[in-house]
Amino acid sequence: MHIDASARPGSYSRQMSQAFVDRFVSLLPDTTVIRTDLNAAPPPFVDENFLANAFLPEAQQDSKALAASNQYTRDFLSADVVVVGMPMYNWGVPAIVKAWIDQIVRSGLTFSMSANGIEGLAQPDKEVFSLVSRNGGFLPGEPFANANFQDGHFAGIMGFLGVKQTRLEALQDIFNPATLEQNLATALGNARKLAEETAARHKKGSRAGSDLWNRAA
């Protein structure tokens, strides 16, 4: 599943996600890519109609109210690999990424609640990659690390849904012309390397993530 969220065509985060996907598909040409451009078709925000239906048994739900959510959730569950290219906007994830997150956090589909607590329902071997572009200083130990509400938020949500690990590749210092060219080349190279490592793990065949939708529903 290939997701982009930047408002700019040809943005750095779009280049990073495309580099990953291109390299992965070149190594595993039978790969099916689910393409989702959140900026081209923004997810709806959670509203009263969504909330009135999302927690009902499936037979009682208004399918129109949950149509977008059901599709996003089905795509997420069916994907063995999820690649999200996004910029940092105002220290956090773009609003359209948050809207997408709100559409896939679904009780009974991507997480369950019971006497034993909350359990994420995504297949445990699903791999999620966050490919991020932003200004400098936001990594651990750097001056603005405490203002980085992007990485922990996104990885925390994925963990809540059952993803064991979310991998991050960040292109930082994008407003520094002295280092941008080299930093971008390094980030693109790292994205391709991540794709190579991931493709090697998937070479023996894909896993049936789509079955999770049927089991959860």
Strands (E), 88-136: 111-114, 117-120, 127-133
**Structure tokens given for 20:** 């990953």
Residue 33 CB neighbours (<10 A): 13
167: helix, strand or coil? strand
Topology of the domain covering 2-216: Rossmann fold (3.40.50)
CA end-to-end distance (rounded Å), the chain: 21
| Helix ranges, 55-176 (H) | 67-78, 95-104, 151-160
b/e sequence 156-173, b meaning 16+ C-beta within 10 Å: ebbebbbbeebebbbbbb
Please tell me the distance from the alpha carbon of residue 137 to that of residue 23, in angstroms, as a whole number: 29
* Residue 25, token pair as written in the block: 């598909």
Q: Which two tokens stand for residue 194?
A: 């991540």
What pTM was computed for the model?
Answer: 0.91
CA–CA gap between residue 52 and residue 209 (Å, rounded): 28
Domain boundaries, the chain: 2-216
For 138, other C-beta atoms within 10 Å of its C-beta total 22
Determine contact, residues 131/166, Cβ cutoff 8 Å.
no
- Separation of alpha carbons 55 and 64, rounded Å: 15
Per-residue pLDDT of the chain (217 residues; tens, 9 = 90+): 999 999 999 999 999 999 999 999 999 999 999 999 999 999 999 999 999 999 998 899 998 999 999 999 999 999 999 999 999 999 999 999 999 999 999 999 999 988 888 999 999 899 999 999 999 999 999 999 999 999 999 999 999 999 998 999 999 999 999 999 999 999 999 999 999 999 999 886 544 443 433 333 3
